[in-house]
Each structure stands twice: as structure tokens, then as C-alpha cells.
Chains A and B, each alone.
Chain A
Amino acid sequence: MHVPDGFLDATTSTGTAVVAAAGVALALRGARRELDERTAPMAGLTAAFVFAVQMMNFPVAFGTSGHLMGGALTAILVGPWTAVLCLTVVLMVQALVFADGGLTALGTNVTLIGLVAIAVGYGVFRALRAVLPATRTGLLTSAGVGAFLSVPAAALVFVLLFGLGGVADVALGSVGIAMVGVHLLIGLGEAVITVAVLGAVLRVRPDLVRGARHLRRASALAPRPSLAGATAVDVR
């Protein structure tokens, strides 16, 4: 869901640009607390990985495709503030270098995919993680539901923006139903990819999943080497 130039009027695009800039400014402060020597390379890797997977459009019904947004996945891997920075970099490279998503729409895309999808995806993940058992299954379930809901949430905010400043004169209700409907399907793909990637990382290096720190605390009785032995799938 990369919004092209032209869909939204200048006022709305300016508004989303201001929102996006404020969000990125907050993220620059917040990410400082999330990043250290070890997690910084993970952030670069996660951004590059999300860029790659966003190229993999998967088919959904009605001759339509979708691709990963990556908000929930990135936030769970590296922390929500760092995720805002990661996705902003991805969206900027896509818009500036690959002409994917408009330039005047960059603020809109950062708002939708960088802020809304992360806030909803990570928010739902945290809420569910608090009530579900502190196990691998509980964590992946929380992640999957968060990822799933993040996509129609971003679509819904697009519809609201379209209502505010859509250039075309079309019925907002039917745009809303179509957008949210198809993005519910795409959200299923988002959930599948998010759970698959998180599951794989948890298997190899659970300590690199920021959102799984409570799992390590649950098994904190085990000394480090045996924790490593229990979880290592050596992929040298």
C-alpha cells in the first residue's frame, strides 16, 4: 500500500508530512534507548530484510496482490522506535530511488506504514503478550494478531485521509469497504510472514528478538550456555 502522488490534496499531504516528521523526531529520541552495539546491526538487517520482502507481492483474491508492511515484525524484532526509523528508511529509498510511492505522498506513506502500522501492530502485540502465556506460542500468537490488524488499520487511516483530502469525488463509504476488505486479506499474509520470520529467528537467536525478552526472563534460571544449547540450531 504505497500511496502515489495525486491521490491526496496538498493540504492533506502537508499535514501527513508534519505528522511523519514529528513521529520520526520522537523515534530518533526513543530509539536511543533501544539501540546498543549489538542491536544496531539488527536494525540495519531488519530494514534491508523488510525492503526485500516488500518486493514479494503475494496474490490475494480478485486479481489483487499485497505485500508485507512489516510494522509489527520490525517493532517486535528491534523495538517500536527503531522500527519507525527502519521503515522510514525503507519508504524513503522506495520513493526516491525506485519511484514506489509518491514523493509528495512520502509523509502519508511514513504515517501509514511507519507510524500507524507500527503503533497498531506493536500495541496489539504488547496487549496480547501481557495476557497470553509467556511461551513461544503465546508470543507468536500475539505477533500474528498484531501483524494482521496493523494492515486494515493502515488502510482505514488511508480512507480517513482520503475523506479529508481525496482529490477524486467518489463515495467514501464504498472506498472504505473496498480498502479495508482487501487489506483484511492482505493482513492474513502479513500475519503468516511475521509469524514465520519471528519463529525462525526465535529458533536460532531468541535473544535478538527484542519483543521476546520476557521469554528469556521466564527461562532465566537456566545459565547462559545451556540456554544456548537448548535453542541453538546451528546454521553455519
Chain B
Amino acid sequence: MTRTRTFVLIGVLVALVIAGVGSWYASSAPDGLEATAEEQGFASTARDSAAADSPLADYAVAAIGDDRLSGGLAGVIGVLLVLALAGGLTLLVRRRPTEDATAPPADARQH
């Protein structure tokens, strides 16, 4: 059986390839909400996000001219950022190993 660490590593690599390379081939057609907003005439009420000036806004690295490289790098940065934040958050929230290994289930709920 694939070890958990190997599994997670392969999974992260797959995510990096999807975001870094695959995203270039994603459809650039408006998504369901954008298309509905256009069609129903309320697209103009959308306002630019306060984050619109972010150096990574719209999945492009502002400093890189090449679209493909810029988008791919933005995707890679995003995957690593989400991995770090979600992984870090869930590590903080998780049950502690000591609690897991030694305490019977009833004790694990004392607070």
C-alpha cells in the first residue's frame, strides 16, 4: 500500500501540475454566474475587488510578461499557499496524539 506520506506527496505534485500546467488549457468562457449576469443585465453592477491590484490578481504574476509562465506560476504559488494554510490550520485544530493514544474516548471530551 502506498504510504500516507508518499500519497500526500504525489497528490501535491498532481495539484501542482494541474494548477501550473493544466490551467493553461482551462476554458476562458465566462462561468455560470458571469454568463447569467451578462444575459440578465446585472453584470455591470460588479465592482472591482479591493484585491484587484494584488501582484497575483486574476491568476497572473504581474511581473511576468509571458502569459503561460505567469499563469502557471500563479497557480503553483496558490497551491502551495493553500496547502500551507489549510495544512497548518488543520494541524492546529487536530486532536493531539497524546490524547489519542492514552486517553479513553470519554476522557477526550473533558473540555
Q: Is the CB of B15 within 8 A of A178?
A: no
Q: Is the CB of A49 within 8 A of B100?
A: no
Residues of chain A contacted by B73 (CB below 8 angstroms) = none
How many residues of chain B have a CB within 8 Å of chain A?
69
Q: Is B6 an interface residue (CB 8 A)?
A: yes
Q: Is the CB of A178 within 8 A of B40?
A: yes
Q: Is B106 an interface residue (CB 8 A)?
A: no
Q: Is the CB of A99 within 8 A of B30?
A: no
**Which residues 17-48 of B sit at the A interface, judged by CB distance below 8 A?**
18-19, 22-23, 25-33, 35-37, 39-42, 44-48
Q: Is the CB of A96 within 8 A of B90?
A: no
Point out the residue from A1, A179, A231, A235 that lies within 8 Å of B10, measured CB to CB: A235
Q: Is B102 an interface residue (CB 8 A)?
A: no
**Which residues 57-99 of A sit at the B interface, judged by CB distance below 8 A?**
57-60, 62-67, 82, 85-86, 89-90, 92-99
Residues of chain B contacted by A182 (CB below 8 angstroms) = 32, 35-36
Q: Is A168 an interface residue (CB 8 A)?
A: yes
Q: Is A128 an interface residue (CB 8 A)?
A: no
Known: A51-B79, A98-B74. A7 touches B45 (CB 8 A): yes
Q: Is A120 an interface residue (CB 8 A)?
A: no
**Which residues 40-89 of B sit at the A interface, judged by CB distance below 8 A?**
40-42, 44-52, 54, 56-59, 74-75, 77-89
Residues of chain A contacted by B57 (CB below 8 angstroms) = 98-99
Q: Is the CB of B59 within 8 A of A59?
A: no
Point out the residue from B1, B41, B87 that lies within 8 Å of A228, measured CB to CB: B1
Residues of chain B contacted by A65 (CB below 8 angstroms) = 26-32
Q: Is the CB of A36 within 8 A of B42?
A: no
Q: Is the CB of B79 within 8 A of A48?
A: yes
Q: Is the CB of B47 within 8 A of A102?
A: yes
Q: Is the CB of A1 within 8 A of B33?
A: yes
Q: Is A42 an interface residue (CB 8 A)?
A: yes
Q: Is the CB of B41 within 8 A of A168?
A: yes
**Which residues 196-211 of A sit at the B interface, judged by CB distance below 8 A?**
204-205, 208
Q: Is the CB of A66 within 8 A of B31?
A: yes
Cα separation A41 to B87 with both chains bound (whole Å): 6
Q: Is B104 an interface residue (CB 8 A)?
A: no
Q: Is A175 an interface residue (CB 8 A)?
A: yes
Q: Is B110 an interface residue (CB 8 A)?
A: no
Shortest distance from the beta carbon of B97 to any chain A beta carbon, whole Å:
6
Known: A32-B95, A44-B86, A99-B58. A234 touches B2 (CB 8 A): yes
Q: Is the CB of B42 within 8 A of A170?
A: yes
Question: Considering only CB atoms, which chain B residue lies closest to A89 in the complex?
Answer: B86
Cα separation A235 to B111 with both chains bound (whole Å): 42
Question: Considering only CB atoms, which chain B residue lies closest to A36 in the complex?
Answer: B95
Known: A7-B42, A100-B58, A168-B40. 13 other contacts (CB 8 A): A4-B49, A31-B90, A37-B94, A41-B87, A44-B88, A47-B85, A49-B15, A52-B75, A55-B18, A97-B78, A98-B57, A98-B58, A99-B54
What are 10 A-B contacts defined by CB distance under 8 Å? A35-B93, A37-B100, A44-B84, A44-B86, A52-B75, A55-B78, A65-B27, A93-B85, A182-B36, A236-B2
Q: Which 7 A/B pairs are nearest by Cβ-Cβ distance?
A: A44-B87, A168-B42, A47-B86, A6-B47, A35-B94, A52-B19, A65-B27
